[in-house]
A and B are shown apart, each in its own frame.
Chain A
Amino acid sequence: MYLQTTIIAIVMVATFALASWKLKSPEISMVITAIVGALVGGFGFPSRLLVEGMFTYFDVGLIFLTASIFINIYSETGAMNALVRWIVKQFYDKKWLMLILLGILLIIPGALTGAGSVSIFVVGGLVSSVMNYMGFSKKRIAAFIYLFAMLAAVAPPINLWAMLMAAQANMPYVGFGVVLIVPIIIIAAFTILYTGLSKTPGRKTKTEILEELPQPPAGMNWFKILVPFGVLLVLILLMQYATFYIPVLGLPLTFMICAFISMGMDKDRWKVKKWYNVMVKTVDQVFPLLGTVISVGVLVNIMTATGVKGLLAITFITLPMAFIYITALIFAPFAQGSLSYGSAIILGTPIIFLFNSMGLNVTVTAAALSFLFPLGDCLPPSRIVGRLTIETVGYEGSYMSFLKAIAIPWLFMGAIGLLMLLFPNQLRFLVVY
């Protein structure tokens, strides 16, 4: 059985590599890999498994679509340009303060929703424009946005990896606040320093930038700029803290409500054709991501059915402890790249049980793992947040050069996560109930 599953895994890896090389499309390569895996695993043509898999991340896809529609409609009203103008006017000469503010801005949406991709969708474009005008290179902008999106996903109150591991291991999701926030501050400070200390040869004067930036449309005011984001924040907070008193909206509908509010704020609110065109363009823009999440779902479902997913987990946790520590920075991110949040359940929970049996603090361990898993959101096969960052920033280099660009802060975040994993008992003072 072990040998058979290993053979399936090898065939799937080879198929994925070959399909990616020949077809140049990660989406179709994942589906072909899934079909070949099922055929080799003796499932025949797996129609039912394929359809089931398509829906694994369907809701995530809907969030991508609706968040993009909201932010594109918001930009179309001219509010985004007005906001960028204001930020440049106020903070252009205060680089460090500006970077701290942009970092906080990136963390809020992800912290409230548990998804770094939401941060990039909602404020990534704004942050990218401002940093562009500040003269930072595309590489530094990509590294800044990607790292803060990761930190946003890890930040409390919603850390999906820690929540999933806690639920699976029968431990309460409490005491994670400080143990998550302290490392986040350290990593954020490092990322801000790494970005801020870089050279900015393309930096223009404030007057030049303000001349370049489009003028806000007539009638644009603070009310119109802030209300769509205000409503978004209020609805997300209500979903968190007044769950039993409001109907279940869900993030996609929340984004659509805010998109309609943005439309309502525009003087051309009744020009249906204009908004329809924005939506058509958005669907085209988001399509590669939508295709990716649906294809990843198919691949993960077949990996589960054939036992490849379990094989990866068992292989990892049966390694000697020293090897677990040494390979954690490779296994955990790659598990995230192929299994998405499933990595927390497949890999995270067995590690929690293993560490618990050795008398190590499980809250710190779960927090540590939740810093290691998100590192894989830029790794194949899914590369969801990585690709999203590239599209948002308008990064034109190869994907490998993007990985190199984010390498230093990425490794720093990994090192912090690894240190927490190595010394959970020494860091138990950070677990505050």
Chain B
Amino acid sequence: MLVFFDTIIYYLYFIMTAFFAFLLLRNLFKREKRKALVYDIVYSYVIITFILRVIGIK
């Protein structure tokens, strides 16, 4: 039973990470603060981290 719940939780984390990746992506294009080019780069590699986790590379 615990293994079953652990599996569900495992997938919940993927869903959660995908949702946060989406929110970050939205903020990359519609942000009101930190608009400098430097932050485009920071946003990009933060989003890449989330996407890599979602697609299961790490």
Contact = CB atoms under 8 A, between A and B. Distances in A.
Contacts of B49: 54-55, 58, 294
Contacts of A295: 42
A284 B13 contact: no
A420 to B, nearest CB: 38
Contacts, number: 76
Contacts of A24: 38
Interface stretch (A97-105, A250-258, A383-391): A250-258
Greatest chain A CB density within 10 A among B17, B31, B46, B52 is at: B46
Nearest to B10: A248
The interface residues of chain B, by DSSP majority, are classed as: helix
Q: Taking each of B12, B16, B20, which has the highest tally of chain A beta carbons within 10 Å of its own beta carbon? A: B20
Nearest to B48: A54
Contacts of A256: 16
Given A27-B42, A284-B27, A247 B2 contact: yes
Nearest to A297: B49
A245 to B, nearest CB: 8
B23 A248 contact: no
Interface core residue of A66, A287, A288 (most chain B CB under 10 Å): A287
A28 B38 contact: yes
Nearest to A29: B38
A279 interface: yes
A62 B20 CA distance: 9
A290 B33 CA distance: 15
A280 B23 contact: yes
Interface string A29-62: 0010000000000000000000110110010001
Interface of A: 23-25, 27-28, 31, 51-52, 54-55, 58, 62, 65-66, 246-250, 252-253, 256, 279-280, 283-284, 287-288, 290-291, 294-295
Given A280-B26, A283-B23, 12 more contacts: A24-B38, A28-B38, A52-B58, A54-B52, A58-B58, A62-B17, A247-B5, A248-B6, A249-B9, A253-B13, A253-B16, A287-B34
Interface of B: 2, 5-6, 8-9, 12-13, 16-17, 20, 23-24, 26-27, 31-34, 36, 38-39, 41-43, 45-46, 48-49, 52-53, 57-58
8 contacts: A24-B38, A25-B38, A55-B49, A55-B52, A58-B58, A247-B5, A253-B16, A294-B49
